Structure 1
Amino acid sequence: MNLAVYDMSGKQVGSYEIDPAELAPTVNKQLLHDAVVMYQANQRQGTFRTKSRGEVAGSTKKLYRQKGTGNARAGSRRSGTRRGGGRIFAKRPRDFGWRMPKKALRAATRMALAARLADDEVKLVNGLDLAAPKTAAVAKLLKALGIAEKTVLVSPEKHNEMLWKSARNIEGVSVAPVADLNAWTILQPRALLMTTAAIDAFRATVAKVVAAKAAGLSVARGVGRRTAASKSAAARAAARAAAIESKPVVSKPAASKLAVDRKSAKRAKPAAKKEK
């Protein structure tokens, strides 16, 4: 597919060819859902707290006698069944965060961008270089591209302080370089605005992952390396084989010979006592 490339004034200056299947041949919706839920769960503070019946103020004296009043049985006014009492199973601060495997998160990021490209929700510009912070320049660009009233993620190749300062005062606009992209940041806004250099960097990272996978390597932080598990297993097998080859072979005496030696030793002991 061909995407139009615009300049800072909003005029089309070229086109960019890309196939979404290059980033992800298939889009796993369940994987995207799990990744988004994980990122949202990690943003929860979990600082809530309520009081149990042992923490609320009030007397623990029985409200009235057990029988004879016609009322239901009642004990402490702190009971969770009474108004103003403590909460049953009171809430406590907790951490809702959890983590998915790194490979799954990287795959979800690629699938998310491939899905946005397939839905034609990505706008490309040839550059976002600003000499000084200028909110009006970014607002004018968004208006020219028709995404001014939407939530927008602006993604340059690297961190751009001038761009960040120019866009931070626009409601619904966030800035994140390619290295900070994930499934949640890509899927959450209504539109994406990327530079051609940024999408080139993303494609280069994907190509490195594909090449490493084809060569039987695992990728960690963008650098290919052999899996430690397979390497250590091969080393242990080689050491075990070398130990077996170098071990001397000791021949054991026959069982019948050992029995004869034991009998002769027993016969010799009484003779030694008689000599004394």
Structure 2
Amino acid sequence: MEKKIYSIYGNELRTIKLDDAIFGIPTNAYIVYYAINNELANKRVGTVCTKDRSAVRGSNVKPYKQKGTGRARCGDKKSPLLRGGGVIFGPKPRNYNYTLPKKMKRLALKSILSMKTRSNCLTVVEDFTIENGKTRELLIILNRFMKDERTVIVLSDSDTMIKRAGNNIPCLSFLSYNRLRAHDLYYSRRVIILESAVEKLNKLYHAVGEE
């Protein structure tokens, strides 16, 4: 599959070959669903905690006698049925993290990249950087490819200056070619991938034995 490469000025420069095994496979909706749920679950902190009747502070004395009052029998003031008592089956601290198989995660990422390519939401741009880290200069470049929409830029390496320039842009996020996130890619309206990142993506997936 051939894809046009654009300059930072919006001009067509040349074409680059996209690996059909990464950018041209059918979208597997089920795998994408599992990958996004996995990422959201791993972000959960799980520190919420409630007190049951054994943890609530209070006396163990019966509030009134067992019979003869016409009221329901009650053991103590810590009962969940009374105000100030414990919580029935309340949440406790837990770990929501779980590991998704590597093949499933790679398939989900390739499915999303293929979907973005088919819908013309993926743009390949020549390698560039922002030497002074100014947001204004990055916006001048991005305005040629996006219009106030959620955008992801896939970098070939950890470029500190370009990330610094994009920190003040609320609809923009950065991903490295070897640390992609299914949630960010799927919900983005525009994916801008650098030319060197495309080449490294092709080598990465071939290195793990996937054609």
TM-score, length-scaled by structure 1: 0.69
Give the counterpart letter for 1:46 in structure 2: G
Distance in 2, matches of 1:123 and 1:137, equals 19
Deviates more, 1:198-207 or 1:79-88: 198-207
- Structure 1 pair 18–116 and aligned structure 2 pair: CA distance change class (3 A): farther
Matching residue of 1:119: 119
Give the counterpart letter for 1:193 in structure 2: I
1:111-260 matched pairs, under 5 angstroms: 111-147=111-147, 149-209=148-208, 212=209
Deviates more, 1:181-190 or 1:164-173: 181-190
Matching residue of 1:13: 12
Higher helix share: 1
SS at match of 2:136: helix
TM-score, length-scaled by structure 2: 0.89
Distance in 2, matches of 1:157 and 1:19, equals 15
1:78 deviates by 0.9
Distance in 1, matches of 2:76 and 2:189, equals 54
8 Å CA contact retained: 2:3, 2:18: no
8 Å CA contact retained: 2:5, 2:16: no
8 Å CA contact retained: 1:138, 1:166: yes
Distance in 1, matches of 2:55 and 2:41, equals 29
After TM superposition, where is structure 1 displaced by more than 6 Å over at least 4 residues in a row?
A: none
Give the counterpart letter for 1:186 in structure 2: L
* Structure ID, larger Rg: 1
SS at match of 1:85: coil
Distance in 1, matches of 2:114 and 2:199, equals 14
Matching residue of 1:231: none
Distance in 2, matches of 1:213 and 1:67, equals 75
Is the counterpart of residue 30 in structure 1 residue 25 in structure 2?
Answer: no
Is the counterpart of residue 95 in structure 1 residue 95 in structure 2?
Answer: yes
SS at match of 1:67: coil
Q: Deviations over 1:43-68 (max 9, x none)?
A: 10001111111111222211111222
Distance in 2, matches of 1:198 and 1:17, equals 12
RMSD: 2.1
Gaps of 5+ in 1: 215-276
Give the counterpart letter for 2:144 in structure 1: A
Is the counterpart of residue 76 in structure 1 residue 76 in structure 2?
Answer: yes
- Structure 1 pair 197–170 and aligned structure 2 pair: CA distance change class (3 A): same
- Structure 1 pair 34–51 and aligned structure 2 pair: CA distance change class (3 A): same
Give the counterpart letter for 1:164 in structure 2: K
- Structure 1 pair 48–56 and aligned structure 2 pair: CA distance change class (3 A): same
1:18 deviates by 4.9
Q: Deviations over 1:190-249 (max 9, x none)?
A: 22111122112212323444xx357xxxxxxxxxxxxxxxxxxxxxxxxxxxxxxxxxxx
